[in-house]
Chain A
Amino acid sequence: MLLIVGFPAWSESTESQGYALVEGQLLVSLSLRNPPTREILERLREGLKSEIRFDVRVYQKTSGIFGFLGDKLIGECHPAYEAQWDEFSSQFIVANDDHHLYRFATAPAFAKFFFSLPYYATGVKIPPGHGYYMLTSVEVDATKLVPPLNMISLLVPIDRYTSAWERTRLAF
């Protein structure tokens, strides 16, 4: 499973289609290639909740005598969605970090929304400079464990899909 950075062109984007710098703030668009749609839909139909978490970290390369200390972390964000199937309204419901609810009547519409993060304002301010790059990863909990069963996740990652970290050079 790979994370890809896909982004339709928009007017403010500068060089890349996968990210943009708007008023000094980084906007990214992420989506998951080959998502575990079937597994997620199965869990939702069983009455369980699923969660997807996108991890975005922005670094600036460090050179010179302090290079051995590693690259500088400029900022990071971890937007997440929580999904469930509402059998009383026959809708997929997705909640974001701000508890805003999105309802979908069909599975394809739900999957398209759930596995992507379009035009997301990361809140990471990029100062003028160069050598920036971004590491991205996605973690999907097909079953979001409820307390106290969430103790399991401390010891064993269960029913979880995790993508590899993907590196994208940021050039503005």
Chain B
Amino acid sequence: MKLSRSPGSSVTGLVSLVLIYILLIVLILFFSNEVLQDISKESTLSNFVVLPLAVILPVFIVGTLVVNILRLVRERRTGQPGVRLKIRMIIFFTFIAFLSSIPQGILSISFINTTMNSWFSTPTRGALQGGVDVALEFINDKLTNLASFSDSAALSSMLRDIKRSPDHLWKDVHEANPSISAVQVFSDNGNELFFRGDSRARLKAPFMSNREEGMLPKESSGDLSILRFLRIYRADQDRFAVVLSSILPAGFDQKAQALTASREIFTQLDRFGAVFRIVLVLFFSFFSLPMLLLSILVSFLLSEEIMRPIVNLEEATRRVTQGDYSYRILGRSGDELALLVNSFNKMISELERSRLKIMQTEKVTAWQEIAQRLAHEIRNPLTPIKLSAQRILKKAEESREELDRILEPAVRSIITEVENLDRMLREFRDFSKLPAPQLADVNLKELVREVLTMHEQAFRNVVFNLDAVPEGLILRVDRDQLRQVFTNLFKNASESIQGDGSVWVRADLVRKGNYQYCRVQVQDTGCGIEEEYHNQVFNPYFTTKGSGTGLGLPIVERIIFDHKGQIWFETQVGSGTTFFFDLPMET
């Protein structure tokens, strides 16, 4: 029993595609969450991620798709079973994939545009710029206030008590300008004389006494920012460096930095927004395309998976049609197609059993018929043999002279009839023990010409024409058996011709289903076959000729059947008969 096995390649392919799909999603998530955060910096990991994402995976998917498409084209060219339905299914699946992808793409791009326009709108930008301006104004006010107070005559007046009472000085300064956080005074050599106010504003390093009067650089440490002004005060012979400090609100620098960083995004968007939108669309396409290609690949595998049992059924049906009842399909478990396959297998088993039963019955019937015919044919010569023998015996008893007269013709008659019996039994043996064909490449025209050479001499009244047999047509057949076929057909054709006539031989290539055959015709201008004999032409021992054994055409039929071919005939009484037989080109 032959089994059509499911190779399972579709399942493996589907699993591979699912793994690639998951890998793609993981890479995209990684790309969007990690790499984009700082894509400008080189890192081995990002290269490791970006490279396969950008090159290897799409190339692999495109390559696999191209291979599948080429295979499909080849299957279509060679007319593989189910290929048209498969193509329709793939187109259908691809269409669905496009139908779902296109709106998703439009929606995503539209969503990105809307979100960008909403998040980075003009009011938001205005609010951010306003925040920066307010912060700048605040710090400028602080600076102006510090500078103007430091330069003021009021401070000069307060500094007169610098030697006498530092506490008094701090009290006066703080009362006059509450935004001053601390006062620190250094001697001419840079040593601190005193410090009053918020301890966080105290300068810890030795002060450079040669510095010029004016604003000192803003100091920032942690969330603390301090503005300072240096005032040089001279009293008598002494020189003092007075540092007035003003502490900014906690976290001022960080907040200002956050504002400027946010404003930076807006500035970059203003400058590169158009390019960014194009890049976004390109990236979206870049990530979507492999997904779309993957879905098309899935459609290939799904259609393969769906089509396989149908193709197997078609193949099995064709095999059964050709007489191969041993073919079975291995079904899958659990679905309706498996039930169908099981039913089909059961049906073929039943068919095979019935066929074997019928064949057995037919065989018995045929042999019974043959036995009857054989008995009848054997009895025919036995009568003249018996009569001849009785006649010899009778004459031998009556007269020696009469015996001499009839002995020779009577013995000759016995010998002739025995020879007939011998020929008949030999042909019967040939018919019943026809060996299996030994196939070899045979040039048809050469074979036919070879057979005709013998017949042309025996039937000089018949013109044989084999112009319609192509030169170089090679068949894979048993040479001796095919020679027997032509011998029998030519003999029948020639014997059916009364007077002058002709026999044409023709060969053509024909296609039946998926198989190619060589169709051979042997046409004669003989007397034709009466309609009442049409059903008996291929029966053993049926003959309309006086000298025939009735085994010629049954042998021809048997040989053609053994070559997996078919034979039939068309005839018209008075016009002639044409025998057709088809031999498969592939074995």
Contact = CB atoms under 8 A, between A and B. Distances in A.
Contacts of A153: 39-40
A148 B38 CA distance: 9
B478 interface: no
Interface string B400-442: 0000000000000000000000000000000000000000000
Interface of B: 36-40, 42, 132, 135-136, 139, 217-218, 220, 253, 256, 260-261, 263-265, 267-269, 271-272, 275-276, 279-280, 282-283
Interface in A145-161: 145-156, 158
Name the prevailing secondary structure of the B interface residues: helix
B567 to A, nearest CB: 74
A48 B268 CA distance: 8
A91 interface: yes
Q: Does more than half of chain A's interface fall in helix, strand or loop, or is it mixed?
A: loop
Given A141-B40, A156-B279, 18 more contacts: A46-B267, A47-B263, A47-B264, A48-B264, A88-B136, A88-B218, A88-B253, A91-B218, A144-B40, A146-B261, A147-B36, A149-B265, A149-B269, A149-B272, A150-B40, A151-B279, A151-B280, A152-B279
B34 to A, nearest CB: 11
Interface string A85-114: 001110100000000000101000000000
B585 to A, nearest CB: 58
Contacts of B217: 89, 91, 103, 105
Contacts of A158: 272, 275
A141 B36 CA distance: 17
A87 B267 CA distance: 15
A61 interface: no
B264 A152 contact: no
Interface residues of A, number: 28
Contacts of B260: 47, 87
A143 interface: yes
Interface string A45-83: 011110100000000000000000000000000100000
A88 B256 contact: yes
B275 A152 contact: yes
A146 B264 CA distance: 8
A122 B300 CA distance: 55
B38 A147 contact: yes
B40 A145 contact: yes
A85 to B, nearest CB: 9
A164 B206 CA distance: 48
A154 B283 CA distance: 10
A156 B261 CA distance: 23
Contacts of A87: 132, 136, 260
Contacts of B139: 88
A148 to B, nearest CB: 6
Interface in A14-40: none
9 contacts: A47-B263, A48-B268, A143-B272, A146-B261, A148-B36, A151-B36, A151-B39, A153-B39, A158-B275
Contacts of A47: 260, 263-264, 267
B268 A143 contact: yes
A155 B39 contact: no
